[in-house]
Amino acid sequence: MTVRRRPRVAVLWARLSGYFHACLRALDSEADLLVVHKQGEPDAPFDPGAVTAGLRTQDWGGDGPDADALERLLADFDPDAIVVCSWNVAAYRQVCRTRQGRTLRIVAMDNQWRGTPKQWAGVASSRFLLEPTYDAAWVCDERQADFAGRLGYPVERLLWGLYSGDHPRFAAVARARGTALPPPAFLFVGRLVPEKGVDVLAAAYRRYRGLVDDPWPLMISGSGPDQHLLDEVDGVKQLGFVQPADVPDVFAAAGCLVLPSRFEPWAVVIHEAAAAGLPIVCSKACGASARLVLDSYNGVVVTEGDAEALARALLRIHRTDDDERRAMGVASESLAAQYSPEQWSGRLLRRIPELRELVGLPPTPWAG
């Protein structure tokens, strides 16, 4: 009798985070898992122990991983599938090429198709750069799927739902609140860098405060070089960088998430806020706005870079009555249920045997 073994999956990633740790732990409960990752960075100083706890991991510094050492690690592990964060790490590309025909190779794609010169260059070179390197692509939703299709990946070789927040932990915030209204406070969570629209947030919040007699405070959870733009703004409370274990408590103290990013391939924080039952104001640039923020249903979607539009959105949330705010929270919870770490893991493990067969790889001993 053939003894079925557990699936073996190698994840070659960049910087780890709290939400991705939750997904990896879900995968680790069902498969043998190896995670190779980049060390942390100053603008997102996650506790290294918190984002690697319980996992078999190998980190690398700023110079990048050593391809030969990585190949030896993978040869010893012998994965059924490799999941790689994008295609910008040379050593990751190299080891994936050497394992062509032996291992299913999945590239993660969170960039939306925007028609930039760099993206067009990627399309032009995909036949030589990507096709021999990756067998399938894992995308967030239709915006990334459009890009993946242009790179040569048919829909049959796509996985969906690349990212998920730690749904159970943030849904607990909504359960604990019950039918009570969340506190009247806006919340921004993220790195304080230009691409997050921190300058737009500062200008919009000032305008909003001038339009009402009882403005909501604005809590800022994050760190980065643009912190000074908010230091002198009345009503702003700087929380600094908050470790993942404490983020649900921050959401429990807020009544609406605000994310005015100029560039945001997805934004897992939107999923976290939705799971916590919060209305959401975000820019259209946020990839998650397509699936998790429906204007006037559970929030407001605005044009990126437009401080006046963002101020009006804050005012709309401020003026909603109690019943509307509760309805928005319930709507957010229902949309958040699309994603969870368990669904993320299950989606990957279900597709590996099918994709291996599709690209002509031998069946796995755990398939079927």
Domain range list for the chain: 8-164+340-358, 167-336
Task: Give the span between the Cα atoms of 291 and 181, in whole angstroms.
Answer: 24
Task: State how far Cα 177 lies from the chain centre.
Answer: 25
The position carrying tokens 């699309």 is 338
pLDDT tens digits for 155-189?
999 999 999 999 999 999 999 999 999 999 999 99
Residue 248: other Cβ atoms inside 10 A = 19
Provide the residue type at 110 as one letter.
D
- Per-residue pLDDT tens for 71-95? 999 999 999 999 999 888 999 999 9
Full 3-state SS string of 245-310: HHHHHHHHCCCEEEECCCCECCCHHHHHHHHCCCCEEEECCECCHHHHCCECCCEEEECCCCHHHH
> Does the pTM of the predicted model rise above 0.85?
yes
Greater confidence (340 vs 46) lies with 340
Which residues lie closer than 8 Å to 101 by C-beta, 6 or more apart? 360, 361
Closest C-alpha to 337, from 139, 181, 164, 180: 164
CA atoms within 13 A on the CB side of 205: 28
| CATH class of the domain at 8-164+340-358 | alpha beta
pLDDT of 212-248, one tens digit each? Answer: 999 999 999 999 999 999 999 999 999 999 988 899 9
pLDDT given for residue 283 in this prediction:
98
Same fold, 8-164+340-358 and 167-336: yes
- Distances in Å between the Cα of 222 and the Cα atoms of 6, 169, 196, 230, 241 are 39, 19, 11, 12, 4
pLDDT band at residue 63 under the 50/70/90 scheme = confident
What is the pLDDT at residue 1? 44
**What CATH number has the domain spanning 167-336?**
3.40.50.2000
For residue 286, the model assigns a pLDDT of 96
> What percent of the chain shows pLDDT beyond 90?
87
- The confidence score (pLDDT) of residue 39 equals 82
